[in-house]
Amino acid sequence: MNIEMIRAAQARLEGHARRTPLLNSPFLDEIAGRRVWVKPECLQHTGSFKFRGGWSAVSGLDPEARARGVIAFSSGNHAQGVALAASRHGVRSIIVMPSDAPQSKIDNTRALGAEVVLFDRAKDDRNAICARLSEEHGLTLIVPYDNPLVIAGQGTCGLEIAEQASAEGITKADVLVCCGGGGFTAGVALALEADAPCLRARPVEPEDFDDMARSLASGVIERNSRLSGSLCDAIITPQPGNLTFPIVSRLAGPGLVVTEDEALHAMAHAFSRLKLVAEPGGAVALAAALFHADEIEGEDVIVTISGGNVDADVFRMALDKFGG
Amino acid sequence: MNIEMIRAAQARLEGHARRTPLLNSPFLDEIAGRRVWVKPECLQHTGSFKFRGGWSAVSGLDPEARARGVIAFSSGNHAQGVALAASRHGVRSIIVMPSDAPQSKIDNTRALGAEVVLFDRAKDDRNAICARLSEEHGLTLIVPYDNPLVIAGQGTCGLEIAEQASAEGITKADVLVCCGGGGFTAGVALALEADAPCLRARPVEPEDFDDMARSLASGVIERNSRLSGSLCDAIITPQPGNLTFPIVSRLAGPGLVVTEDEALHAMAHAFSRLKLVAEPGGAVALAAALFHADEIEGEDVIVTISGGNVDADVFRMALDKFGG
């Protein structure tokens, strides 16, 4: 896993992924006590940064494997990213989703061109289903973060941040990355190491699901005690990846942890000050910038909004609580 | 009023206004039955395209007049655009606002650096207040649309659309513009005439406030019968401008008119498919693309989202009605 893989991914994404802007607002600066720069990956195709990794993985396959198609398991953003990347390449994708996933996510994944195979979380073995389908149809499995091509794709966001920060005259800053399995954080950290060594990636997670922060603190991979019960579901994973953790550990600063209410509050600020729709998991980095200012260094902070795929009822909850 | 004034404004806005992206979604294409391209000016500084006109007007003054400061009357987006443009130039601005304007808008305008002077809609003469303050303090009045520098600033959005459409291979399309007094429509129409004659501006207004559409149909300036009672307040004006109407009349296609519910429905689609916050008046062009497809020609349509300054309760209303 190295910077050349990220640059190669960037070349493959050119003209296909969106180059998202770097936004700011004097109102957010005021709250945070420093300049806050926002990289809104909710504006990426399929509403999250996952399209970068999906496109990178599909486009990076050798032509024969690609022609046979791909398979992925995901109930959320990775599913949509892979589905659209595959259909725009004109190849087949099967997405294995839990049967209790929200109908809207199942519908969206199908509408983006995937065949959806549902499994019962209680009875079925997801990995076995994937393995069987993969073998039967010759499909390449694209796992959500512990995959070099996926990490390389997410890293392209870091290359853009390096370039945009330089254009804004930002010389030193923490770059807060919404963190699940660590693919986004690892990719961004590698990109910054190469192109903006004055910028430091830092993972941000929700309270009670801070496996990466604890793993960074202890130096070994730590697990979450549970995997459900968070509004930040988009970035909940069992533990840091075997491929991502060493990279994050080597390059990133300490993890930050925010409460669910802080994430909802940040969503309300993204609504009123940036006119952006963030999902709870996608708002944790902005929440850290706004409400954990004393844990951050420097006159500037850069935050990712990793996705905006939130149902109306959860968005209403954020506005009810914090929208004024 | 000519294209050179718009190009000069573009040079002055360079590095100060945002170049907003051109977004799309397969889900919107499906509803509209053609490709829908969205120019999200809600992502512009101060949350609306009005910052372009404000910056153009302040930066276009001669240095002596600029140093004395500016004055504007507005209860909404123009106020914020002028306030931020003035404060970033380091000059004074007074914004004359009705005392019953939402507190949040008064607070925001102040926070962006303006002195706010409130007047009583029932008793006071707004124009007399502006004239007195302007004379007392030597301030230049910046009216919201019937001002060549303002129209030139709004036109910079049209230059960007021309360039972005060409990059996307769009050869012929209607460009739907949210229309109040016609400054945005006139500026965009002039820019398209010069840089993309295959693109045609068309104003979009809310039902019962369709003064521009009726004026275009009759060939003379028609007034609205009332000025309040619309959620689309950001784009409600008494009648087309004396400066804007001849331009729109010469260059734009027929006006489109949407219902308030269609605007709210379009807001819900912008939320779920684009992850953008649109205000009701800012969503009328998207509403026309989605729900008045038979009044539009061509395989592509380009729509502006003119602003995103909507209170949480109105946004909730859109999600309650149409957010699923």
Q: Which residue, A112, A141, A170, sits at the end of a domain?
A: A141
Based on the fold, state whether residues B171 and B294 are members of the same structural domain. Answer: yes
Residues 6+ away with beta carbon under 8 Å from B152: B1, B5, B6, B8, B9, B53, B56, B60, B187
Q: How far is A316 from chain B (nearest CA, A)?
A: 6
**CATH code (residue B55):** 3.40.50.1100
Based on the fold, state whether residues A45 and A55 are members of the same structural domain. Answer: no
Residue A35, both tokens: 């300049």
What does the alpha-carbon distance between residue B204 and residue B290 come to, in Å, rounded to a whole number?
13
Chain Cα centroid distance, residue A15: 20
A50, A93, A134, A249: the catalytic one is A50
Interchain pair A18, B21: CB under 8 A: yes
Q: Taking CB atoms and an 8 Å cutoff, what residues of chain B touch A271? A: 277, 312, 315
Domain, as residue range, for B90: 51-141
Based on the fold, state whether residues A99 and A198 are members of the same structural domain. Answer: no
ipTM of the complex: 0.96
What does the alpha-carbon distance between residue A305 and residue A175 come to, in Å, rounded to a whole number?
11
| pLDDT at residue B162 is higher than 70 | yes
In the residue annotation, B249 being an active-site residue is answered as no
Q: Kindly state the average pLDDT of the residues A27-40.
A: 98
| pLDDT at residue B185 is higher than 90 | yes
Based on the fold, state whether residues B33 and B165 are members of the same structural domain. Answer: yes
**A42 has a chain B CB within 8 A of its CB:** yes
Are residues B263 and B303 in contact, defined by beta-carbon separation less than 8 angstroms? Answer: no
pLDDT score for A156: 98
Mean pLDDT, chain A, as a whole number?
A: 96
Interchain pair A43, B26: CB under 8 A: no
Interchain pair A111, B42: CB under 8 A: no
Q: How many domains does chain A have?
A: 2
pLDDT score for A228: 85
B-proximal residues of A, 120-179, CB under 8 Å: none
Based on the fold, state whether residues A41 and A66 are members of the same structural domain. Answer: no
In the residue annotation, A306 being an active-site residue is answered as yes
What does the alpha-carbon distance between residue B305 and residue B312 come to, in Å, rounded to a whole number?
18
Based on the fold, state whether residues A164 and A63 are members of the same structural domain. Answer: no
Q: Is B300 helix (H, G, I), strand (E, B) or coil?
A: strand
User: For B106-130, what is each residue's pLDDT tens digit?
Assistant: 999 999 999 999 999 889 998 899 9
Q: Which residue, A141, A158, A188, sits at the end of a domain?
A: A141
Q: Is A247 helix (H, G, I), strand (E, B) or coil?
A: helix
**B319 has a chain A CB within 8 A of its CB:** yes
Nearest to A47 among B112, B275, B311 (CB): B275
**A47 has a chain B CB within 8 A of its CB:** yes
How is A271-301 classified by DSSP, letter by letter? IIII-B---TGGGHHHHHHHH-GGG--SSEE
Nearest to A312 among B30, B43, B324 (CB): B324
Residues 6+ away with beta carbon under 8 Å from A147: A53, A57, A183, A243
Based on the fold, state whether residues B95 and B227 are members of the same structural domain. Answer: no
Q: Taking CB atoms and an 8 Å cutoff, what residues of chain B touch A277? A: 271, 275-277
pLDDT score for B324: 66
Based on the fold, state whether residues A200 and A262 are members of the same structural domain. Answer: yes
Chain Cα centroid distance, residue B196: 20
Based on the fold, state whether residues B207 and B262 are members of the same structural domain. Answer: yes
pLDDT score for B309: 95
| pLDDT at residue B318 is higher than 80 | yes
Are residues B64 and B194 in contact, defined by beta-carbon separation less than 8 angstroms? Answer: no
Nearest to A43 among B26, B271, B275 (CB): B275
Element (DSSP H or E) covering residue A167: helix A148-167
Nearest to A308 among B275, B278, B308 (CB): B275
Length of chain A: 324
Mean pLDDT, chain B, as a whole number?
A: 96
